[in-house]
Amino acid sequence: MRSFFFLALLLLAPVRLATATPADIADNPRMWEIFLADQQDRGQDQVDRAAVRRQDQAHRDEVLAMLRAGTLRTSIDYFNAGIVFQHGDTMEDSRLALALAQVAVALDPDNGPALWLTAAAWDRLLMKRGLPQWYGTQYHQPTPGGPPELYPVDEAVVSDEERVRLNVPTLAEARARAAAMGAD
């Protein structure tokens, strides 16, 4: 039931916006604050994962309340909300991240970060199901303390041209990034 509610909300969001002019629509400042806090939590050298998980859950709860209240209005709002859910723990969080990214792209097809998030959220869903990713956006650390590696990619599904169209690095670039992360 919860999934149906959010799907309906996401599908109706663009209809709500259709009656407003671009000058009437501004990014939600609280959503921006949550996005920045989410990114800051991940940019620290030493991360208290338990504290970050608690903060992430509080952020997801607040973003859900914003979705219910209809206070997310712009492509940037939906992208920022999608990032918050991309960092969630559950399959439902990942599904919502993908849906929010898709709404962000529907509102602004030139939103490069939102295009990237559609690919990254799809890859995260596949990864959580134990399947190879398509786009090459997800990394993992299969050996505790070992170097990060690119999560396995099904190379037959998506071309590098499609990756570039979605603002995603080519597979060669993704592999080079994994190697550079391991060298740090």
Name the residue with higher pLDDT: 33 or 96. 96
Q: Which residues of 9-33 are buried (b: 16+ CB within 10 A; e: fewer)?
A: bbeebeeebeeeeeeeeeebeebee
Location of structure tokens 């997801």? 60
pLDDT class of 9 with cuts at 50, 70, 90: very low
**Domain range summary for the chain, segments of one domain joined by +:** 2-109, 132-184
Distance between CA atoms of residues 156 and 161, nearest Å: 13
What pLDDT sits at residue 167? 96
What pLDDT sits at residue 24? 57
pLDDT class of 11 with cuts at 50, 70, 90: very low
CA 24 from chain center: how many Å?
26
What pLDDT sits at residue 19? 46
Distance between CA atoms of residues 110 and 101, nearest Å: 12
Distance between CA atoms of residues 180 and 184, nearest Å: 7
Q: Which amino acid is at 104?
A: A
Express each pLDDT in 119-146 by its tens digit: 999 999 999 999 999 999 999 999 998 8
What pLDDT sits at residue 184? 62
Q: What is the dihedral of CA 155, 160, 163, 164, to 10 degrees?
A: 170
How large a percentage of the chain has pLDDT more than 70? 84
In degrees, rounded to 5, the angle at the alpha carbon of residue 70 between the alpha carbons of residues 87 and 39 is 25
DSSP letters, 119-164, are HHHHHHHHHHTT--BSSS--EE-SSTTS--EEPPB-TTT--HHHHH
pLDDT at 36 over 80: yes
In degrees, rounded to 5, the angle at the alpha carbon of residue 38 between the alpha carbons of residues 86 and 95 is 15
Q: What is the dihedral of CA 20, 26, 27, 28, to 10 degrees?
A: -90
The arithmetic mean of pLDDT across residues 94-107, rounded, is 97
Express each pLDDT in 63-84 by its tens digit: 999 999 999 999 999 999 999 9
pTM reported for the whole predicted model: 0.82
